[in-house]
């Protein structure tokens, strides 16, 4: 077929998505009420790719997997499509699950609520005569009561109020860009059956007054006197321009989705659920490309709120499994979201009819200066030697409701890999009576508070250190307890323990012992006889705060531990399982590790969970300054010495004097 990708790991093209939708429309039982939740590449496994790359086998077949919601029979289907054969080769029903919520469902639910007399009456009771100024956010159910019924496809909507004409002015002003999160409507919740697209009930409980001050970050919005005065002196004028120029162009090369930079080689990928994916990451050492990662991607996000208020306790959101990061990705703008010599990758997503939609500039790639890479001054000769550090940045930004997330992979010249999430956007808010004090959050404006919450991320790392069997090792530092050895009290050792089974690999951070983990290839050693490895160093992290029997913790069981490890099994991609929406719990990592498979010298997958623990501040309002969370993968005995020693000095970069 035309428009087909050239490599087995290339994301699906528009033409391929169209072909998949056409083939599914011809499948047995198809009706126009089948909705395309996700059309994704069915990636070939590592063994098949290696055989093809070595010339020992033909190219793996180009396949897609399709998740369908059958609105008529209220069932979820999975179909396998072979694009080489232009045929649906499998169709199975997945009983008892709810797939991700589609954008079209959310928009239809909002339209339905706006027409509902009960919702309109609830607004009038709060003094809102024009329902057009209200803003509804549809979201998955989160916490589920037994009375809601597990088989009903459920959703809820919360209500906020945007600004209308300012007081004393007769002419209308647009409220489309107004920050409605400044004015939450407490106690008003609409419940939906998303298959039937009907309203099940409208909860309307008395609550505190709707806050009146606005929370707009646009300086032009301060013409509304109700806008919080965040610009008392106007927009600052002291900032001088910074110009980033690479007159000879960037140091990377791109061939389709394949990237080479410095000594790095990798493939970039994208899908509607995970968004950005990295494939086949390797580093060239002595003219030999050494493998490090077979596949790396965000496997799940979970955002639980710690407020028991009626409007807030259902905010237990799986932003990836219930919404899809890929479908929420922004089209990036040069000079705003990315700066410098940029290469953009366009992505393709689709609607619930299977119609593809191009997403220009979905992935940004550029180089950044990152300060000193290494430096030493010989005090005997007063001669300094230093090198700048540079990194390759591959990133996407996604808007999920009120929050905006940046997902960044960094590759460094010294072989380090870093993953970082940047959190910004606007807070999900609640109202309180002026004179009271919010118990479960922080006051951020008069009568307005932001609940305490966490943002959990799990990254799946299919390791491939030196392309062979890998083992997991935990390292803890501890003082020497023998007083005859530790006579001065400061002796300590770093103690390595091989983790042999999946159950033992459920591990937590431990700052008191500087705990980290290494993935070793026992069959590959450096010049010192040490096993080649990559070490996972935790960054900022914390623990969950759920009671042990909390329903959401059963669905998000991956947050019980920061580290999990599994022997590779095809199809195990998402920490909370493929269908976390309304799931009773136990799917994903808890289920996959029940067999307690051996991990030594294995095809190893490491799953790392980290959290942004958010106690909101007034400084987070109205738009939150970027917060950061992530981790590093550093080479440990993978090389014989500093692999960035050969970085050339920057020409004309060091100057004597001022």
Summarize pLDDT for 253-303 with one digit per residue, the tens. 999 999 999 999 999 999 999 999 999 999 999 999 999 999 999 999 999
Model confidence at 4, pLDDT cuts 50, 70, 90, reads low
User: Which of 403, 410, 449, 608 does the annotation list as catalytic?
Assistant: 403
Distance CA 102, CA 310 (A): 25
The pLDDT of 163-179, averaged and rounded, is 58
Percent of the chain with pLDDT over 90: 85
Mean pLDDT of the chain: 93
Mean pLDDT calculated for residue range 437-459 = 97
Cα–Cα distance for residue pair 348/329, rounded to 1 Å: 11
CA distances from 331 to 16, 325, 328 (A): 22, 13, 10
> For position 225, what pLDDT does the model report?
67
Q: How far is residue 285's CA from residue 605's CA, in Å, rounded to a whole number?
A: 24
What tokens does 26 get?
């011809």
Q: Is the pLDDT of residue 170 over 50?
A: no
CATH of domain 14-93: 3.10.450.40
Least confident of 152-166, 303-317, 567-581: 152-166
Give mean pLDDT, residues 106-111: 97
- What is the architecture, at CATH level 2, of domain 103-223? Roll (3.10)
CATH code of the domain occupying 256-429+448-616+624-636:
2.70.98.20
Task: Tell me, yes or no, if the two domains 103-223 and 256-429+448-616+624-636 fold the same way.
Answer: no
pLDDT in tens, 183-196: 999 999 999 999 99
Percent of the chain with pLDDT over 70: 94
Question: Is 319 a catalytic site residue?
Answer: yes
- Residue 172: pLDDT band (50, 70, 90) is very low
Is 403 marked active-site? yes
**Which pLDDT score, from 0 to 100, does residue 496 have?**
98
Q: How far apart are CA 328 and CA 273, in angstroms?
A: 9
Going by pLDDT thresholds of 50, 70 and 90, the confidence category of residue 522 is very high
User: What mean pLDDT comes out for the span 161-177?
Assistant: 59
Q: Reply yes or no on whether the pLDDT at 169 is more than 50.
A: no
Give the mean model confidence (pLDDT) for residues 411-429: 98
Residue 579 confidence class, pLDDT cut points 50, 70, 90: very high
Contact 407, 276 (CB under 8 A): yes
Nearest to 460 by CA among 315, 625, 624, 571: 571
Q: How confident is the model at residue 94 (pLDDT cuts 50, 70, 90)?
A: very high
Tokens 């307890």 correspond to what residue? 481
Mark 112-150 as b/e (b = at least 16 C-beta within 10 Å).
bbeeeeebbebbeebebeebebbbbbbbbbbebeeeeee
* pLDDT given for residue 235 in this prediction: 80
Catalytic residue among 319, 404, 466, 603: 319
Using 50, 70 and 90 to split pLDDT, how confident is the model at 146? low
Q: Is the pLDDT of residue 248 over 60?
A: yes
């999975």: which residue's tokens?
A: 78
Contact of 293 with 417, CB cutoff 8 Å:
yes
The residue extents of the domains of the chain are: 14-93, 103-223, 256-429+448-616+624-636
């Amino acid at each position: 077929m035309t428009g087909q990708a050239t490599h087995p790991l290339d994301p699906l093209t528009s033409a391929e998505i169209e072909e998949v939708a056409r083939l599914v429309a011809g499948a047995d039982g198809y009706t126009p009420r089948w909705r395309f939740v996700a059309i994704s590449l069915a990636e070939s496994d590592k063994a098949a790719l290696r055989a093809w790359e070595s010339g020992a086998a033909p190219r793996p077949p180009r396949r897609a997997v399709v998740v369908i919601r059958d609105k008529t029979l209220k069932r979820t289907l999975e179909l396998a499509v072979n694009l080489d054969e232009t045929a649906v080769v499998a169709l199975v029903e997945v009983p008892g699950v709810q797939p991700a919520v589609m954008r079209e469902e959310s928009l239809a639910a909002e339209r339905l609520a706006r027409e509902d007399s009960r919702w309109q009456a609830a607004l009038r009771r709060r003094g809102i005569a024009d329902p057009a100024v209200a803003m509804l956010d549809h979201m998955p159910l989160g916490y589920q009561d037994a009375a809601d019924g597990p088989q009903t496809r459920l959703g809820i909507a919360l209500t906020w109020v945007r600004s209308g004409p300012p007081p004393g002015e007769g002419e209308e002003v647009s409220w489309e860009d107004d920050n409605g999160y400044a004015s939450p409507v407490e106690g008003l919740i609409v419940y939906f059956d998303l298959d039937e697209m009907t309203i099940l009930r409208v909860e309307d409980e008395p609550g505190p007054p709707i806050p009146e001050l606005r929370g707009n970050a646009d300086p032009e919005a301060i013409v509304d006197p109700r806008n919080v005065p965040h610009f008392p002196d106007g927009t600052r004028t002291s900032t001088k321009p910074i110009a980033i120029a690479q007159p000879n162009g960037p140091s990377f090369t791109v061939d389709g989705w394949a990237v080479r930079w410095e000594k790095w080689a990798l493939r970039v990928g994208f899908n509607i659920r995970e968004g950005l994916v990295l494939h086949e990451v390797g580093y060239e050492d002595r003219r030999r490309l050494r493998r490090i990662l077979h596949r790396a991607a965000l496997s799940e996000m979970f955002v639980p709120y710690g407020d028991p208020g009626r409007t807030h306790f259902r905010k237990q959101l799986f932003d990836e499994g219930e919404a899809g990061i890929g479908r929420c990705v922004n089209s990036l703008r040069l000079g705003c979201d990315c700066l410098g010599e940029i290469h953009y990758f366009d992505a393709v997503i689709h609607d619930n009819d299977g119609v593809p939609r191009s997403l220009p500039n979905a992935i940004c790639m550029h180089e950044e200066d990152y300060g000193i890479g290494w430096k030493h001054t010989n005090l005997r000769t007063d001669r300094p030697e230093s090198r700048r550090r540079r990194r390759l940045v591959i990133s996407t930004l996604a808007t999920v409701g009120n929050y905006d997330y940046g997902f960044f992979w960094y590759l460094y010249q010294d072989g380090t890999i870093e993953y970082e999430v940047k959190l910004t956007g606007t807070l999900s808010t609640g109202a309180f009576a002026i004179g009271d004090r919010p118990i479960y959050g922080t006051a951020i404006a008069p009568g307005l508070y932001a609940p305490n919450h966490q943002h959990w991320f799990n990254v799946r790392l299919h390791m491939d250190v030196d392309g062979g069997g890998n083992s997991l090792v935990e390292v803890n530092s501890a003082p020497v307890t023998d007083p005859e050895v530790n006579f001065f009290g400061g002796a300590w050792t770093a103690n390595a323990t091989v983790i042999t089974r999946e159950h033992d690999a459920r591990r937590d951070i431990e700052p008191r012992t500087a705990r980290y983990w290494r993935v070793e290839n026992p069959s590959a050693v450096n010049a010192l006889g040490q096993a080649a490895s990559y070490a996972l160093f935790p960054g900022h992290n914390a623990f969950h705060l759920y009671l042990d029997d909390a329903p959401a913790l059963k669905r998000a069981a991956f947050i019980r531990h920061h580290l999990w490890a599994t022997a590779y099994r095809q199809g195990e991609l998402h920490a909370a399982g493929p269908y976390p929406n309304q799931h009773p719990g136990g799917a994903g990592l808890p289920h996959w590790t029940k067999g307690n498979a051996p991990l030594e010298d294995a095809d190893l997958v490491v799953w790392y969970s980290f959290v942004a623990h958010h106690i909101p501040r007034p400084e987070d309002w109205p738009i939150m300054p970027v917060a950061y969370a992530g981790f590093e993968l550093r080479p440990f005995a993978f090389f014989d010495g500093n692999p960035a020693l050969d970085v050339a000095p920057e020409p004309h970069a060091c100057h004597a004097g001022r």
